[in-house]
Chain A
Amino acid sequence: MTAVLEVTGVTKRYGSLAAVQDLSFRLEPGTVTGFIGPNGAGKTTTLRMCATLELPDEGEVRIAGRSALDDPRAARRVLGFMPDTFGAYTNTTVAEYLDFFARAYGLAGAERREALQSVVDFTGLAPLVEKHTSVLSKGMKQRLCLAKTLLHDPKVLLLDEPTAGLDPRARVEFRDLVLGLAQLGKALLVSSHILTELAEFCDSVAIVERGKLVAAGRIDDVQGGLERRQRVRLRVLGDPRAASLYLAEQRNVTAVSQEPDHLRFELDGDERALAELLAALVSAGLQPVEFSREGMGLQDLFLRLTGREAAQ
């Protein structure tokens, strides 16, 4: 499939700090891509570069086959960017806010009325159109922002931390909106610093840490690649130190830690490697009484990928 957004080797420096380094990824129509990384990883910077608000020092951003850097106005016609801060005018109602942006996108007459009607219906804002923007709840503001972003029917949607600060219910509703947009054939890039929030509705993920891409691809592949690493809990009869020494000598074993009555370690390999290790332990006379694999959840994977300080 052809990519509607193609980012290649993009780098952005602020003084000596490289906020984004040699980042590459692509979005396809009808897919949702999670863009995940801890705070300060460079997500916002990347999204702003894709949205033509910032110019990369190196690299290229292509939207619908054309360079967004050479022709930003053409790119802006097909992309919708929803920033992480809600931008709304004071003294404005929901209807006026949407009407203003519809005009600003060059929609006129019946075309404008149709566009307004369809985004209001899609985001379920109809009961609120006469309300002032300042009295909306966080979830409703987020919907209004999305409605504004959808007015000119963009092909690519860049949403910066759209779920931050939403209560669980609003989050579920927002997820449904995003899935609905993907079904309409739009390509979505949704950033977040919490992986689990996105895992349930993303087709693929790109994980960044300190401006660098650490993993990217379909969510199963990323997970599968990481699952080659298994965490194992082991308890042996007798002195655990002997087992610890033995494990330390194995090539595919890492991160051995000794706790009062058991050991933990990580094994680089699949289930066969696990079985082989158990057999080797027994034949070395170590008498295992407990040998169990501990699951790695998505959040664990993320923590492993991005270092301990990440998460929330």
Chain B
Amino acid sequence: MKVVAEVAEDFGDRWNPLLVKELRQSMRSRGFAILFLGTQLVAAAIAALVLAVGTSEPGQALLMALGTCLVISAVGVVPVFAFLSFTQEWDDNTHDLLVLSQLGPGRIAFGKLKCALLQVALLSVSFAPYLALGLLLEGVDPLLPITLLFTVAVVSAGSSCAAIALAGVGRSRGVRTVLLGLFTVASLGMCVFWIVMLNGLVTTSALLREAAFWGWYSAALLLVVYSAGLCFLGARAHLAHPEEAPTLPARAVAAGGALLLPWLAYAVPATAAIFARSDALVATATFFVSLPALISFSTERERLGRVLERRLPKGLAARLLLHPLLPGGGRGALLMLLVAVLIGTSAVGANKLFAPPVGLISAALATDMAFYVALVAYFWIYTSAASLLTWRLGEKLGWRWVARLSVPVLFLGGTLAGMLIGNVIGDELMAEGGHLMNPFWVLFELGRTKTEDSLPGLLAISGVLLLAQVPRWVRGVADAERASRAAQRARA
């Protein structure tokens, strides 16, 4: 007996310890058991009901009901469990113990993610017989149940990544509670969105035979996977030692993803026809997905990493050049600029390569770029203002949140202020939102007409904000110089 137990234990050595632990715990807790049995009961009841009532399209009715059930449990509830499982580490005072172990930040975050994935896998497997039953009934495309399961699994994993990233921020109980509230609401929203999408797919399953649909589908899932990756790296960064810019991987992905996603979207041949006429859509979607990460970078206020500090070239000129790239140097705003330039060039390049003759290929490069330049200018305006706010007020953590919130506030405030001014001076177009500080209008117009009336004004505002950062960079360099001199003295 003892030998058997030892073999069983050693088998677990290859697993993530967190997974082993949570499995043991979940055998004793009721949360997942109730969810699992509950969904089973509901699924069985639905199947029985559909068969008994006998609707005109029994297969579709069954799939819609089961799909709804699966989405609610896998997309609505499992990620919330993942959130709670992570915040439990704070509540139990075990977070620091985990960080101190040899697990490392990546395996901690991944262990928590694997637990969520395992739950989704269990749910999916338990739904499989009912979905198979749906296939036996008429009017169901065999691709449909598979697409359904796959979509739910990917979206649920993505949501769990977001849950883990959010929970990692909640060192204080108050923040945790607020985040849980926000996340639950967001999960509900996700549920509703995917229920509508998947049910729509069930009723128009002819789409499944069209290449264009798969183009859109892969682009949408790509965005989900990409944002999930960003969230995962964010979670990892929060678990890492407060050393050496732990957000670096997340930055790299934010920049790299922004660069690659338009290419991938174009590269799926079937989608090219669609995206050639809506490259702006992909770029904007990508940008909005990266935005939370970018806001968080631009409102960071860390000291220089120690290793970085030691390796940095000395001398005023080098410092002045490098400082904006370092923590607290406004690098979030600069990174924004870089990312935006990358998106612009990448999208235009991809368009030139893949677009069919009807696309933008006939237009001049300058007009192609106008849209992206405007996008860059807007993001620069909002995030660099937030970055400046952080610099002035960011000593206290609370103020950093003020700075973060200032991005949407500036965005909405600017739009509304323009409309108000339009009303006062009697400019009808302005009053309806047709003005410089309404990014939606400007970007829409640029995408439609390919003229760049608003650009000079936007660039002027961006330029002023760039100049406003200069004192901060100069001061930052002086501070860094002083600190490194002090460190040298201490070492000597």
Instruction: Tell whether, in the assembled complex, residue A76 and residue B100 are in contact, meaning their CB atoms are under 8 Å apart.
Output: yes
Give residues of chain A (15-38) contacting chain B, Cβ–Cβ below 8 Å. Answer: 15
Of the listed residues A51, A85, A100, the one surrounded by the most CB atoms of chain B closer than 10 A to its CB is A100
Instruction: Tell whether, in the assembled complex, residue A86 and residue B93 are in contact, meaning their CB atoms are under 8 Å apart.
Output: yes
Instruction: Tell whether, in the assembled complex, residue B100 and residue A87 are in contact, meaning their CB atoms are under 8 Å apart.
Output: no
- Contact partners of A83 in chain B: CB under 8 A: 93, 96-97
Partner of B243 from the list A72, A91, A104 (CB cut-off 8 Å) is A72
- Contact partners of A53 in chain B: CB under 8 A: 96, 99-100
Give residues of chain A (46-65) contacting chain B, Cβ–Cβ below 8 Å. Answer: 51-55, 57-60
> Min CB distance, B324 to chain A, in Å?
23
Give residues of chain A (142-158) contacting chain B, Cβ–Cβ below 8 Å. Answer: 148, 152
- Contact partners of B6 in chain A: CB under 8 A: 113
- Contact partners of B307 in chain A: CB under 8 A: 70
> Min CB distance, B227 to chain A, in Å?
29
> Which stretch of B21-29, B172-180, B286-294 is in the interface?
B21-29
- Contact partners of B392 in chain A: CB under 8 A: none
Instruction: Tell whether, in the assembled complex, residue B17 and residue A104 are in contact, meaning their CB atoms are under 8 Å apart.
Output: yes
Whether, in the assembled complex, B209 has its beta carbon less than 8 Å from a beta carbon of chain A, the answer is no
Instruction: Tell whether, in the assembled complex, residue B24 and residue A77 are in contact, meaning their CB atoms are under 8 Å apart.
Output: no
Q: How large is the interface on A (under 10, 10 to 19, 20 to 34, 35 or more residues)?
A: 35 or more
Per-residue interface assignment for chain B, residues 74 to 113, with 1 indicating a CB less than 8 Å from any chain A CB and 0 otherwise: 0000000000000010001111111111111000000000
Instruction: Tell whether, in the assembled complex, residue A105 and residue B102 are in contact, meaning their CB atoms are under 8 Å apart.
Output: yes
Alpha-carbon distance A90/B242, docked complex (angstroms): 28
Alpha-carbon distance A88/B28, docked complex (angstroms): 15
Alpha-carbon distance A73/B490, docked complex (angstroms): 24
Alpha-carbon distance A77/B29, docked complex (angstroms): 33
Whether, in the assembled complex, B210 has its beta carbon less than 8 Å from a beta carbon of chain A, the answer is no
Instruction: Tell whether, in the assembled complex, residue A72 and residue B241 are in contact, meaning their CB atoms are under 8 Å apart.
Output: yes
Instruction: Tell whether, in the assembled complex, residue B24 and residue A92 are in contact, meaning their CB atoms are under 8 Å apart.
Output: yes
Known: A55-B243, A59-B490. A104 touches B102 (CB 8 A): yes
CB-nearest residue of chain A relative to B240?
A72
Whether, in the assembled complex, A96 has its beta carbon less than 8 Å from a beta carbon of chain B, the answer is yes
Known: A15-B396, A91-B29. A100 touches B21 (CB 8 A): yes
> How many residues belonging to B are interface residues under a CB distance threshold of 8 Å?
38
CB-nearest residue of chain B relative to A92?
B25
Alpha-carbon distance A109/B97, docked complex (angstroms): 22
Instruction: Tell whether, in the assembled complex, residue B396 and residue A104 are in contact, meaning their CB atoms are under 8 Å apart.
Output: no
- Contact partners of B13 in chain A: CB under 8 A: 103, 108-109, 112
Alpha-carbon distance A51/B103, docked complex (angstroms): 16
Alpha-carbon distance A112/B17, docked complex (angstroms): 13
Whether, in the assembled complex, A101 has its beta carbon less than 8 Å from a beta carbon of chain B, the answer is yes
Give residues of chain B (285-308) contacting chain A, Cβ–Cβ below 8 Å. Answer: 303, 306-307
Instruction: Tell whether, in the assembled complex, residue B100 and residue A58 are in contact, meaning their CB atoms are under 8 Å apart.
Output: no
Instruction: Tell whether, in the assembled complex, residue A15 and residue B96 are in contact, meaning their CB atoms are under 8 Å apart.
Output: no
Known: A55-B243, A70-B307, A89-B25. A101 touches B102 (CB 8 A): no
CB-nearest residue of chain A relative to B486?
A58
Whether, in the assembled complex, B427 has its beta carbon less than 8 Å from a beta carbon of chain A, the answer is no
> Min CB distance, B238 to chain A, in Å?
13
Alpha-carbon distance A9/B487, docked complex (angstroms): 11
When A and B form their complex, which 7 residue pairs have the shortest distance between CB atoms, in order from nearest? A103-B17, A87-B93, A104-B101, A87-B94, A108-B13, A91-B28, A85-B93
A interface residues (Cβ-Cβ under 8 A, vs B) = 8-9, 15, 51-55, 57-60, 69-70, 72-73, 76-77, 81, 83, 85-92, 96, 99-101, 103-106, 108-109, 112-113, 148, 152
Could you list 7 further interchain pairs (A-B, Cβ under 8 angstroms) beyond the known A54-B242, A85-B93?
A52-B241, A76-B100, A86-B93, A87-B93, A87-B95, A100-B21, A104-B98
